[in-house]
Amino acid sequence: MTVRVRIAPSPTGNLHIGTARTAVFNWLFARHHGGKFILRIEDTDLERSRPEYTENILEGLRWLGLNWDEGPFFQSQRLDLYKEAVQKLLDQGLAYRCYTTSEELEALREAQKARGEAPRYDNRHRSLTPEQRAAYEAEGRSSVIRFKIEDGREIVWNDLVRGKMSWRGSDLGGDMVIARASEEGSGQPLYNFVVVVDDIDMQITHVIRGEDHIANTAKQILLYEAMGAKIPEFAHTPLILNMEGRKLSKRDGVTSISDFQKMGFTAEGLVNYMTLLGWSPPDSTQEIFTLEEAAKEFGFERVNKAGAKFDWDKLDWLNSQYIHKTPVDKLTDLLIPYWQAAGYKFDGGRVDAKRLLVRDRAWLEQLVTLISQSLTRLVDAVPQSQLFFTDTVEFSDEGSTQLKQEGSTAVLEGIVTALENQPQLSEAAAQDIIKQVVKEQKVKKGLVMRSLRAALTGDVHGPDLIQSWLLLNQIGLDKSRLSKAITEAN
């Protein structure tokens, strides 16, 4: 048997973290067994489905590296298949037309509520005669299509995550609507029905989805049986919860994959974290792995039943590990969009109107080398590199205080003088200038370093001072900042 699994998102919103985690588990299971991962877009909700959401889903899956083997298939293009399947059930007497009005259904629910009963359809139109159907149609009533569910039936399956599951037909709310009302024929087929038709047609062997779908499974098993199809195996994975133990929602902040991307998470870090949301590898000490590495070990025997709490600190840590080991050239490519979004300017080595060298690719890679190990998210590069993309800097309180320290002005003036003999600064030359000023001014090296940092960066804290100085020198900003700092000190 060739394993065939599917991810079937609805394009009524952006790709959600929960849907993406389900896609991860499907992908891992398929790759572990050398099977097929199929993408199906469930867009039968015509009012809420949007093409921009479809594109967001496709882009999100591609970004995460969850490449699919077949698809995408669109349910909106398969309506004839569903209507044909509905008609077969009608012809076999397994489904029927129900003419009950919305007012009658509401009255039924109110009566059941008054008696303390769970709401359910009472199957009142299951056995209408042709004359009764004709009479209802003469009244102008439209009909939904209902699938017959026997109350005494017990539906049992072995869930790959949860073990034996059992539902009684009487707990399923009466005969199930499988197609909406329509003036002619059958109307729009509904979720529980089209899912089964698609899974049969696509020969899906394993249905892997969130536990919020458990209630649908018993109904769907009955439909598989009615259509004479082999029932797939089911695996219902735990929900993603917030730290308070409630289902993760928009109230907890970002939940869509595109939002995580904007926040500066890498695809590798995020997909690694999602793999750990509900599954634990055989080696509990291993936390960092690629999708391909996880696929070799993946199995549902290590998927938890309990909900998986979303831990932002853990995600940040994992993300930082991927950033820190990313080669400089690739990391530069990843950071450029965030710098561009912040309005930072860089180019290929031009000289601008102020005779300052415009920041080029080689310079950008030096900057990335300087800040990479301090990044947790890619977007952190924006504030951490801001001082390198502005002509001047504002002095913090600590920076301003440092510049007013006794001897600071003389130190800075000594550095400016020394720089006149250094048209292009090197690391060795920068160290020599500091030693020279220490000796000439007869001050401690700490005063020189702190004053120089405050002058160049506006603060007393920041990235490596010498490397920062070299970067600023390459674009002609070190001397102007030293002059401004001397003015500030006075």
Q: Which residues are catalytic?
A: 250
Q: Is 143 helix (H, G, I), strand (E, B) or coil?
A: strand
Query: Which pair of tokens denotes residue 293?
Result: 């590495």
- Classified as helix, coil or strand, 437 is helix
- Burial (0-12, 13-18, 19+ Cβ within 10 Å), 327: exposed
- Burial call 215-241: b when 16+ CB within 10 Å, e when fewer: ebbbbbbbbbebbeeebbebbbbbbbb
How far is Cα 389 from Cα 335, in angstroms, rounded to an integer? 14
The conformation of residue 229, written as its DSSP 8-state character, comes to: -
Collapsing DSSP states into helix, strand and coil, what is residue 254? coil
Residue 234: C-alpha distances to residues 6, 14, 159, 214, 283 (Å): 12, 26, 5, 9, 26
DSSP-assigned beta bridge partners for residue 189:
179
Contact 277, 240 (CB under 8 A): yes
Burial of 468 (0-12, 13-18, 19+ CB in 10 A): buried
Q: In terms of DSSP bridges, do strands 154-159 and 163-168 run parallel, antiparallel, or are they unpaired?
A: antiparallel
Question: Mind giving me the DSSP string for 269-333?
Answer: HHHHHHHTSSB--SSTT-----HHHHHHH--GGGB-SSPEEP-HHHHHHHHHHHHHHS-HHHHHH
Rounded CA separation 382/339 (Å): 6
250 is in an annotated binding site: yes
Q: Which residues are annotated as a binding site?
A: 250
Q: Which residues are known binding-site members for ATP? A: 250
